Amino acid sequence: MSAEMATSERPLSEAQIQLQRLRDHVSSQVLGQERLVECMLIALLADGHILVEGAPGLAKTRAIHVLSRGLEGDFHRVQFTPDLLPADLTGTEIYRPQDGSFHFQTGPLFHNLVLADEINRSPAKVQSALLEAMAERQITVGRTTYPLPELFMVMATQNPIEQEGTYPLPEAQLDRFMLYVRIGYPEARHERAILRLVREEAKRGARQAVGTFTPVPQSVLFAARQEVLDLYLADSLEEYLLQLVLATRHPSAYDESLGRWLQYGASPRATLALDRGARARAWLQGRDYVLPEDIQSIAPDVLRHRLILSYEAEADGVDADRVIRELLRRVAVP
């Protein structure tokens, strides 16, 4: 632990200062959703994507919109509906009668930050087109492959209340998301602050309400990603991280009830996401080393959508969050 303590007094880097400034700006505009703001920034720093589940009106769209305006990049929102086609996301070739040629018209996925609103409203082909772009960072139309921007993050949302006419994401596609975040209603004090903030925005106009925040350049974000990768992670914590993921595959070794509840555990993508997510959280906290609480804090959002529960768990009213709490309680912390 001495190596970790020796680095604790290191001053913040320029990238840390800039990203903490961005976090404070987004939090000042999206009140009562600190967890969502933190997870969006963690996904950005880890070069991953995020799935957010919450009831309507919880500032999911506002959060990604404010974040996009705080970055030097562009943003596009796509409302997923049952009649959406894959070409509505990827783009399509347009015929030019004047010279008999085809010209590729890029779709919404060619923006830096993309909001896939109510992703479970669209059929499997559309979901597949989006998730392929997320994984491959490219789009193929005909015989031509088009690379997506280097800064590319998808934030998808789904409504947990209304399930009629929806197309749930299969487990293999859910695995493409680094984080699966569930958000709830704000507290009374936050809702009062929201009321006043929106009232002031209505008075001054939306553009003036944003203020004079200077966007963070993409070069700073890319430098931040490198600093996150260089963060110190002790061998004992790396082993702890691995054991958490392995415990989802062999739960009976820890508890008989866990063995009955879990049908399938997390894939190696969970290990990678847990590693980068813990590093990103520690970096956002102003540290250059990872602590056990960084791993424990991000573990529910990394594992929640990667665990397949048994029928017995569903019959007992056990959800993934309860299983994760039990795993965190039983896997020894170094």
Give domain 22-214's CATH superfamily. P-loop containing nucleotide triphosphate hydrolases (3.40.50.300)
Residues constituting the chain: 334
Handedness of CA 316, 322, 324, 325 (dihedral sign): negative
2 has pLDDT over 50: no
Confidence of residue 5 (pLDDT cuts 50, 70, 90): very low
pLDDT the model gives residue 265: 94
**Measured between alpha carbons, how far is residue 90 from residues 78, 104, 126, 136, 142 in Å?**
12, 10, 10, 13, 12
Q: Is 275 exposed, middle or buried (0-12, 13-18, 19+ CB in 10 A)?
A: buried
Average pLDDT over residues 54-66: 93
Domain ranges in the chain with CATH number 1.10.8.80:
231-330
Domain ranges in the chain with CATH number 3.40.50.300:
22-214
- Work out whether strand 101-106 and strand 91-96 pair parallel, antiparallel, or are unpaired: antiparallel
Has this prediction a pTM greater than 0.75?
Answer: yes
Query: Which CATH class, in words, describes the domain spanning 231-330?
Result: mainly alpha
The answer to whether 167 touches 127, Cβ cutoff 8 Å, is yes
9 has pLDDT over 60: no
